[in-house]
Structure 1
Amino acid sequence: MAARDYGQYCGVTRALELVGERWALLIVRDLLVGPRRYGELAAGLPRIPSNILAARLKELQAAGIIRRVPHSRVIVYELTPYGSELEPLVLALGAWGFKAMGEPREDQVITPDSMTMALRTAFRPEVAAGLPPTSYAAEFGPATLLIRVDGCILAVDRGNGPADLAFSAGPAVRRLISGELAPGRAITTGAVKVLAGSGDLLERFATTFHLAA
């Protein structure tokens, strides 16, 4: 049911035929965060035309990557076990693409799901395992997330809540995660604003979430 046929008998070729069409992997990325209604997927991908979203969902369903299921009296899309196997690939692509991100353009947006996956990509469980449990309430532009780290376990939820450190950060969070911007410097320059809690915990955040640029 692939939209494109490369005419080669190869696993990489087949993977591209299944998820290589434009927007397909971004749909998978958002569904890795959790099941989504059609409208939620559209809101998380604000530039996708509705006919393309509908087509990609049909293609991914036909390939056995996603499925439609009833949930609380509505229909949601979720990954199948086969589709969930794409998580390591998506995280690896995120880490690889991070090296070439640069500064954002004015027309580029951050969504809660994209930032959630970015945090999962940057998460260092082997480091977090040696640190005390810590919660962060973070505002990344329009994306407000509650981040809980307990040993090697990471949980990221939309919204706000009690946290050890509450902070807001714009695009400079990329430089913080990459190590280009020291946590103390990020605070003194206003790149990161501490809203509640001890600013010293930003050092722990930057240690827990790190990707080399």
Structure 2
Amino acid sequence: MAARDYGQYCGLTRALELVGERWALLIVRDLLVGPRRYGELAAGLPRIPSNILAARLKELQEAGILRRAPRSRVVVYELTDYGRELEPVVLALGAWGFKAMGEPREEQIITPDSMTMALRTAFCPHVAASLPPTAYAGRFGAAELLIRVDGANLDVSRGDGPSDLAFAAGPGIHRLISGEIAPDRAIAAGLIEVLRGPHVLLGRFANTFHLAA
């Protein structure tokens, strides 16, 4: 039984009992990107107290949402099939919350996993299917991601690599993804810096990754 018990017999109630505790869905979000060691989860959620992270991992494991698995002499946490069923829920919640994000606060950061899931949330496969394959190297604060779009397929991995367009941006990139600001204006305003490649490809990026605020 989860620590939170609402006393109601309802699917939504049970879902909240399983993943409604603070930090639980953010742990699931990061594990949707891939298996993580305990230290990697802690680094991706820098404000989570160690005892809370340990407690949430134990609760999610007991609920059958994640499991501990040995990988090359280390133990990682990974989602079970049941846990991976949460992906459309997480993406839908991300899209819903995007509408209320407002301007970023100074202390707010972007992590590689949070940005990866944000890109999955904003990805428009029906638009990408009509565009040439494109690789983007995005630097989002300290997070570096290689974003490959090939038709309706999206692949996001950590690090740099060969790309058609490389750019740097901070949390203000949400203004481009929301359509609030055009690519050329985002560059002029200093929200995005093109590092290499033709500037026009930033427009393709904005069309491929779009969420209306």
With the length of structure 2 as denominator, give the TM-score of the two structures.
0.99
How far apart are residue 172 of structure 1 and its match?
2.1
Residue in structure 1 matched with residue 73 of structure 2 by the alignment: 73
Q: Equivalent residue of 2:69, what SS?
A: strand
The one-letter code sitting in structure 1 at the alignment partner of 2:136 is Y
| Number of equivalent positions | 213
Match of 1:176 in 2: 176
Q: Distance in 2 between matches of 1:175 and 1:22?
A: 27
Where do 1:67-146 residues align within 5 Å?
67-146=67-146
**Distance in 1 between residues matched to 2:172 and 2:52, nearest whole Å:** 32
Counterpart residue type for residue 70 of structure 1: P
Equivalent residue for 2:185?
185
Distance 1:130 1:145 in 2: 23
Q: Distance in 2 between matches of 1:209 and 1:72?
A: 35
Residue 104 of structure 2 contacts residue 172 of structure 2 at CA under 8 Å; is this kept in 1?
A: no
For residues 152 and 172 of structure 1, what CA distance do their matches in structure 2 show? 26
Question: Is the Cα contact below 8 Å between 2:65 and 2:82 reproduced in 1?
Answer: yes
Note if contact 2:109-2:171 (Cα within 8 Å) is conserved in structure 1. Answer: no
Alpha-carbon separation, structure 1, partners of 2:49 and 2:84: 25
1:107 Cα offset (Å): 1.7
**Matched ranges for 1:16-35 at <5 A:** 16-35=16-35
| Structure 1 SS opposite 2:58 | helix
> 5+ unaligned residues in a row in structure 2: which ranges?
none
User: How far is the alpha carbon of 1:195 from its aligned partner?
Assistant: 0.3
- Measure the CA separation in 2 of the matches of 1:103 and 1:115: 16
CA distance in 2, matches of 1:168, 1:147: 13
CA shift, 1:61, in A, is: 0.3
Offset, 1:190: 2.2
TM superposition shift of 1:123: 0.2
SS at match of 2:35: coil
Corresponding residue of 2:6 = 6
**Shift in Å, 1:189:** 2.4
Question: Deviations for 1:47-88, whole angstroms, at most 9, x for unmatched residues?
Answer: 000000000000000000000000111000000000000000
Amino acid in the other structure paired with 1:65: I
- Find the residue that maps to 2:138 and give its secondary structure: strand
Identity percentage of aligned residues? 80
Which aligned runs of 4 or more in structure 1 are off by greater than 3 angstroms?
none
The secondary structure found in structure 1 opposite 2:167 is strand
Gaps of 5+ in 1: none
Aligned counterparts of 2:150 and 2:120: Cα–Cα separation in 1 = 14
SS in 1 for 2:176: helix
Q: Please tell me whether the aligned partners of residues 110 and 171 of structure 2 are also in contact (alpha carbons under 8 angstroms).
A: no
Amino acid at match of 1:166: A
**How far is 1:121 from its partner?**
0.2
Q: For the residues of structure 2 that align with 1:188 and 1:52, how far apart are their CA atoms?
A: 43
Task: Give the aligned partner of residue 39 of structure 1.
Answer: 39
Aligned partners of 2:20 and 2:192: how far apart in 1? 36
Distance in 1 (alpha carbons) for counterparts of 2:75 and 2:33: 17
